[in-house]
């Protein structure tokens, strides 16, 4: 009995050190050597300052930019609060948000069907990627829409 307990404790310590410390350090080191840009978050810099990441979306409100994909992460694209909304398809607040987004962008492309990724959030709430249909949907923030939003 005592021998089995000692073996169990030693195995726990060895596997903790091996798989909890050494393996992650090895993988981190290999990632830094072979994929340094990706391992560090694919950060975007401008004039020596970090301005974002290729892996995390961001909100745009100026004319000439695409409408951002909706985000459920915190107050919007908050990497410290990454998650989906967990709202079901019959939830009234989700229905109201999606309908409001649809009402906002439909006038900019009255004949086109609205791409689903313009109305729905990603699972993490941070995903910057859009579909080819979304890319081709000529939906951009316009001065007219910004001016009417201020009124």
pLDDT of residue 108: 77
Residue 114 half-sphere exposure toward CB, CA atoms < 13 A: 20
Residue 25, helix vs strand vs coil = helix
Report the distance separating Cα 77 and Cα 89, nearest Å. 22
CA angle at residue 75 from 136 to 54, to 5 degrees?
50
Report the distance separating Cα 138 and Cα 33, nearest Å. 41
Report the distance separating Cα 67 and Cα 78, nearest Å. 17
Average pLDDT over residues 111-132: 80
Arithmetic mean of pLDDT over the chain: 81
Average pLDDT over residues 1-8: 94
* Confidence tier at 147 by pLDDT (50, 70, 90): very low
pLDDT of residue 145: 42
CB atoms within 10 A of CB 1: 5
- Look at residue 8 and tell me whether its pLDDT is greater than 90: yes
Condensed to tens digits (0 to 9), the pLDDT of residues 13-65 reads: 999 999 999 999 999 999 999 999 989 888 888 998 988 788 777 776 666 66
């Amino acid at each position: 009995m005592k021998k089995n307990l000692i073996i169990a404790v030693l195995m726990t310590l060895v596997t903790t050190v091996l798989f909890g410390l050494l393996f992650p350090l090895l993988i981190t080191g290999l990632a830094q050597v072979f994929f340094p840009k990706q391992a560090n978050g694919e950060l975007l810099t401008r004039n020596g300052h970090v301005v974002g990441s290729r892996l995390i979306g961001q909100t745009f409100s100026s004319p000439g930019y695409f409408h951002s994909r909706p985000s459920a992460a915190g107050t919007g694209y908050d990497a410290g609060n990454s998650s989906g909304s967990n709202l079901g398809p019959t939830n009234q607040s989700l229905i109201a948000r999606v309908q409001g987004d649809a009402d906002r962008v439909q006038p900019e492309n009255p004949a086109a069907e609205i791409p689903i990724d313009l109305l729905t959030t990603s699972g993490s709430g941070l995903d910057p990627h859009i579909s080819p249909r979304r890319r081709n949907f000529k939906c951009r923030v316009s001065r007219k829409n910004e001016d009417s939003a201020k009124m």
